[in-house]
Amino acid sequence: MIIGLTGTNGSGKTVTADHLKAKGFLFHSLSDEIRLELERQGIAMNRENLIETGNRLRTEYGSSVLAERVKAKLRPDQNYVIDSIRNPAEVEALRATGNFQLLHLDAPVEVRYDRVVERGGERKPSSREEFVEQEQRELESDDPTRQQLRACYKLADEAVVNDTTIAALKARVDKIVSRWLMEAKRPGWDEYFMRIARIAALRSNCMKRKVAAVIVRDRRIISTGYNGTPRGVKNCNEGGCPRCNMLADSGTNLGECLCSHAEENAIVQSAYHGISVKAATIYSTYSPCLICTKMIINSGIREVVFSQEYPLGDVAMGLLQEAGIELRRLQLD
């Protein structure tokens, strides 16, 4: 779950972020990316420079640049709270990650002004008029690269008016976040096993194509395999397969390839360890070739789920269907 915070100055974003950090959420701020830029350039760290540098970065690198920089630091198995979202392009970039929710925080201007004055610091406005003037520049602009808080408000999934106590704010946030976490999506079984196959493919030592297969029975992985040269033979990426090392055209000189295929390795690994694959499902990042298809049929596997189509797979597909093997394609992002 990634929770984004947007809101006016003094609305309680920092309190909310700290509260979620105490709950185990990891924290990032888009403003920190601007601070890093100011630090690199030796520019004073004040409100005006933060705003101006943020706008410049969006102009030079695109309106979502700050969100993209933070996205590169995120892991899919962690909960995050991300502060200082001020442009709708940033919302769109973060929403593309999947489980993203945007929380809008606000409070009456009199309340927020008093809070900002009380906390002091170099960002403290000299008057209420200056505070309001600064805020108006942040709320909206015809320039898509500048701060557009009002446009972000409209994209928020929930809003909280923080006009009373910190305890009340935390209670409202807890109620919203608890509901979001309970509603958060998790991958279904097919996606789960196919994504594991994608990770396994990273272990492939083949020069031409990285493929992996996962064999599953009763929702338990019983074997995995990826393509590469046989056990005890020099790895393909170390010069072990002449055909791959010469970068042969796809579909040519296949009889000279020394690499075992992913499905083949997964089935052979099961046999090596004495584990039956009868009635199992095999998840493969590519549809099987003809040789692997015959192994799948004769091993007793009853279902094949694949992500990408193998270029020479028409005959193999037909053979699987004739043998009564269930065949499904699962395309992931």
Residues with a known catalytic role: 263
Q: What is the pLDDT of residue 325?
A: 97
- Environment class of 158 (CB within 10 Å of its CB; exposed 0-12, middle 13-18, buried 19+): middle
Tokens standing for residue 253: 């000189």
Tokens standing for residue 143: 């320039």
Cα separations (Å) of 300 from 222, 245, 280, 304? 14, 34, 8, 11
Amino acid at 183: E
pLDDT by residue, tens only, the chain of 333 residues? 999 999 998 899 999 999 999 999 999 999 899 999 999 999 988 878 888 898 899 999 999 999 999 999 999 899 999 999 999 999 999 999 988 999 999 999 999 998 888 887 766 777 888 888 878 877 888 888 888 899 999 999 999 999 999 999 999 999 999 999 999 888 999 999 999 999 999 999 998 889 999 999 999 999 999 999 999 999 998 888 888 888 877 767 777 788 999 999 999 999 999 999 999 999 999 999 999 999 999 999 999 999 999 876 789 999 999 999 999 999 987
25 vs 19: CA distance, rounded Å: 9
Q: Are 109 and 133 in contact (CB under 8 A)?
A: no
**Quick one: which H or E segment has residue 27?**
strand 26-29
305-327 pLDDT, tens digit per residue, is 999 998 767 899 999 999 999 99
Q: Are 306 and 261 in contact (CB under 8 A)?
A: no
